[in-house]
Amino acid sequence: MNILVTGGSGFLGKHLCRALHSAGHQVRNIDLKNNPEFETIQLSVLDQEAITPYFQGIDAVFHLASYIEAGESVENPKKYLVNNIFGTLTVLEAMRAQGVKKFLFSSSAAVYGEPIRTPIKEDDRTIPINPYGMTKLAMEGLVSSYVQSYGFMGVALRYFNLYGPGEDHVPETHAIPRFIKQIQSGQEVTVWGDGSNRRDFIYIDDVVAAHLRALELSQGFHYMNLSGQNATSVIDVIHILEKILGKQANIKNYQPRPGDPMELFADSSKAKSILGREAKVGIEEGLKRTVEWFLTQPNVMGKI
């Protein structure tokens, strides 16, 4: 198949492009940043006129291009609404103009807000508590409307705490790469509360494999959790990293953040039923692989 990926120069995008290529697909990337491994059109997804020609001859689109920081979305909600919602709209319209019908995209656990129970099921209430989560829920609604109105096939993959080799944000706000860098360098390891908060960590290879399975779906709108299947406390993640790195973490506890649930993890039975697969990489193995990658990247390790 001819596959177009938006945001194919990011953490997930790079892994997904490689997996698609390995599976025999032709891959094209639209991103503001270059991905030297694949044809990259360096354009904003908001520029519908400019991006539309590149959708000609495409069989399916993976839409990963969106802003992802919940905290930043609280500070600058307009940035998130414009890029995430209108960026999705322009991609859908480019597809409609070129007759492309298959759309798969990155949704988020943030659509649920404060969970009413755990593990979270897909049809539990969705009341986002930050603008980022709201944009992801709006994106799902927008895609569903194109499925009903124009005969698209849509897939919303709601991931929880994605991690793995290659994750490198500036500044680094995600827990696992931040913990690795801080423990390795002896810096203070910031923990909100006592670290007993439990999260659903899912390894990058499991998420990518689910994307490839989702590509096989046809007709309708599908939404599902992608879960690591086991909740792990923040403090246990730190202890595992201490063991792998052979260093003690200099933990500094701060007051819990408002609206930060004690437990946030998913029921993944729907994805298992629809996609025929479930997460295979456990947290200890996933962290070991992730640490090994970071230790080979001195330039990345120097940035926190």
Residues involved in catalysis: 132
For residue 119, is the peptide bond before it cis, meaning its omega torsion is within 30 degrees of 0? yes
Query: Are the C-beta atoms of residues 239 and 198 closer than 8 Å to each other?
Result: no
**How many whole angstroms separate alpha carbon 272 and alpha carbon 253?**
37
For residue 261, is the peptide bond before it cis, meaning its omega torsion is within 30 degrees of 0? no
Query: Are the C-beta atoms of residues 22 and 79 closer than 8 Å to each other?
Result: no
Place of tokens 């069989």: 59
Neighbours of 256 (CB within 10 A): 14
Strands 231-233 and 198-203: antiparallel
Q: Provide the 8-state DSSP code for 147.
A: H
- 96 burial level (CB within 10 Å; 0-12, 13-18, 19+): middle
SS3 content of the chain, % helix, strand, coil (to 5): 40, 20, 35
